[in-house]
Structure 1
Amino acid sequence: MAGRISDEELKERVRSLLQVDKDLRGYGLNADVVQGEVQLQGIVDTLKEKERAEKLASSIPGVKGVANAISVSTDGAIRNRDVATEVTEELATNHRVDLRRIGVAAVDRGTVVLKGHTDDTREIEAARTAAASARGVTDVVTDVKPEKKEPTLKDIFHNQVRNDKEEG
C-alpha cells in the first residue's frame, strides 16, 4: 500500500520522539506498533508525564491509536494525605487556579478528586493539569460544579411572586 507508513517506521518515530523529549528522555520508555496502533510501556513519576507521552505518540502522522500502559510510580510508599498535600501545593502554585474555588476533596490510592465551583473551564483544566503534576497521582477525577450565584433581590421577588401565584 503506497503512502502507508510501516509499523517499524512508526515505532522508530515514536521511540525517537520519546527519547528527545526533555521531560521524558530519562525514563527509557518503550513503544511497539501493530497495524498503526502504538503500545506505550515504561514507568514515569507523574500522571502528567504519562499523558504527555500519549499525546506525543498520538501526534505522529500514521498513528491510528495509542494504548498507554505506562505506569506512574513513586520511590516508595506514599500516603493519601501526602498526595493531597502535594496536589494542594501544585494547585497553589498555578496562577490560573483559585484555591477558594477548587481544591482536593479526596485521595484514594493515587486517584485524586477535585471539587469546587467555577464556570471557568480553563481554570478546571489548569487544576487538573496541576494535580496531574503531583507525585503519587495516578488519576484525576474532576467534580467541579458551576459556580453558585447568590440570588439578587429581583430573583427573590420573582420567586416569591411565582410562589404566591401557585398558592392562589
Structure 2
Amino acid sequence: MTHQTKLHDVLIQKMRAVLINERIKEASASGIIILGADKPVLFPGAVYGFAAILKPDDKLNLFHEATNRGLTRLNSPEEFNPIVGNLYPLYWGKDKYLGARAYQHIYNPQKTGSIRLSTYRELKNKEIICASITVESYVNAEIALKDAFPDLLKTSTQKFTT
C-alpha cells in the first residue's frame, strides 16, 4: 500500500465516521433513468473533500495566502486544525452530478465558483488528497463535514491572476 493510498483511506474513514455519527447513509453510485421523464437522476449526490499534508510553516503560509485573497472561511490559523496528523482540510463540497465539481476546483476556470487549487503558491508540490462518498443527502453531508473539520478555503467566481 502506497503512502497516498493510506492517506486516502484515512480521509475516507474520517469522512464516513462523521456521516455515520450524523445518520447520513452512504449510497450506491448506480441508478436507473427513464428518458423522457422531466428530470432524470442517474446517481444520488456526493460529498467530497480536498485535504493537504502540511508542515506547521506550510499551514501558516497557506492560511495567510488564503486570507490575503479574502478566500478563507476561518478567522485565525488556530482554527485551521488537522483531520489527523498533518492532514489539513482545504475544502468540503457537495456535488449533485457525481464527480464534476471536484475537477473544477483543481484549475482556474473563468466565471465558475472554484477554490482554484492550482493557483495557490503554498500548495505547489504538496500532496493533496481528494475523496468522495456518494450519499443519500449530499447537502447534510457537506454541513456535517464542515462542522466536524472546518475547511480553510472559500470558492470564488473570479479567475485568479497574479
Q: Quick check: TM above 0.5?
A: no
Tell me the TM-score range normalised by the shorter chain.
under 0.3
TM-score normalised over the length of structure 2: 0.26
Bigger Rg over Cα:
1
TM-score normalised over the length of structure 1: 0.25
By relative contact order (CA 8 Å, sep 6+), the higher-ranking structure is: 2
